[in-house]
Amino acid sequence: MGLKIIVVGAGIGGLTAALALRQAGHSVEIFEKSKFAKEVGAALGLTPNGSRVLATLGFSFERARAREITSWDIVDGVSLRLAKSMDFTGLSKQFGFSAYAVHRVDFHTELLRLAQQPGISGEEAVALHLSSAVVDCDPVEGWIQLADGTKHYADLIVGADGVHSVLRPLVTGSGDAPHSTGLSAFRFLVPTSTMCNDPALQDLMEWKTTGAATLADPQDALPQRHMMWYDCQDGEIQNFVGITASRDIPMGSDGIPDFNTAMLEDFHAYHPDLKHVIKIAGNVTCWPLSIHDPLTSWTKGKVVLVGDAAHPMLPFGGQGSNQAIEDAGALGYLFTAVDDVFKVSARLKMFEEVRINRASIIQTLSTQRAGKEKDVEEALKQYYAPGAKIPGSFPERNYDAFSHNVLQAAADVLATSKLEQEAPDSASTEAYILPQMTRDYLSNQMMSQAA
């Protein structure tokens, strides 16, 4: 008999955590505030460290239409001259898994498919509650409260409710919200066929490799400004992201914000072919980028934060989703076959030991685009042992990220930890007994009313 677990949020982090914990032998239900619980937006990158965890959950890269990334090119966005290229074709041999680009909707759909069917070993499907916004939570008693006033109890509550998490301040005891970086991300998708059939883009499409490209102006006064370009959905869609300073968006003649014009103004120095792509894009959006300083703790009582709720990141380096997946992998491993509620506190401490330093390193690096790793070297030192190698270049940063095996890290901590040999104190004992007594009371009340 496993634990009763509640996951708050049905995004990538929430669904992956639910799958990992369901596979670990627990009864899992998700409470999602939206009506459809569907990811929107553009594409994202899956790197070996994240793919390793997904593979253990039965994730189908084929169903998700994942596109292998064969290289990562650093390009002068003005001249289109190649500055540096990192060959990714050997990642599978080196790390066990390749790097992929996948559309968020395809990724989310595959996770949802897995959650709504029995697990690999016959575990029951994850219960998904839509239109169920969580407005309050008691980490000690172990309950969440929905907008309709109902309370739901659990032995473990996973806060996967994103960058504007409701659960974060209840865990940290601070009302500090993510702060603006002063940067925004333009995003759009263009069908590959549209670009191939455009005479003005034939040279550009012949130039483009099947890898990911970071395009930047070496003379730009704003060093963070750059574009990312890679394809997804089996190569049928081209994905573009443009990072630039936040600004007012001009209104078009139809009264709708003209994101195309704004992006063209911000990337006016770039190659004419790239500007032509922006002109013909029909679905340009713009999202402000926020970040939170690394947290020193992600847990309180029976609540643990994961994904953007614990470590919101900027898109530089493409590790945001991969770190949420690593969180899920660590939770699943550490809670495998745990059916004693008194072990929850110790396992959550182990989870923090596995994850906080690792995620804080990636979170700190996420503030810098490729080639700017040295700018955060001092900030990174607090997370490394004295004398340890600190990544100071983009290849080193990738190796540091890709080579990490979070499942092995969890196994190592579990093997060496003495936390579970410590007797629970009276406060923690009360924290676990009280919710069970409350649930028994409510159950008896319902039976009496029915009679």
Active site residues: 187, 230
Task: Write out the two tokens for 185.
Answer: 């991300």
Distances (CA, A) of 31 to 52, 83, 128, 281, 342: 27, 47, 6, 36, 25
First to last CA, the chain: 29
The residues facing 216 across adjacent strands are 76
Q: Where is 6: in which H helix or E strand?
A: strand 4-8
In DSSP notation, 419-434 reads: GGGSPPPHHHHHHHHH
Task: Write out the two tokens for 355.
Answer: 């994850």
Residue 31 has φ and ψ, to the nearest 5°, of: -115, 115
Alpha helices in 225-309 (DSSP H): 259-266, 272-280
Residue 438 has φ and ψ, to the nearest 5°, of: -65, -45
Do 125 and 116 touch, CB atoms closer than 8 A?
A: yes
Compute the residue count for the chain: 451
How many Å separate Cα 16 from the centre of its chain? 10
The three-class DSSP label of residue 302 is: coil
State how far the Cα of 137 lies from the Cα of 100, in Å rounded to an integer. Answer: 37
The shares of helix, strand and coil residues in the chain, as percent rounded to the nearest 5, are: 40, 20, 40
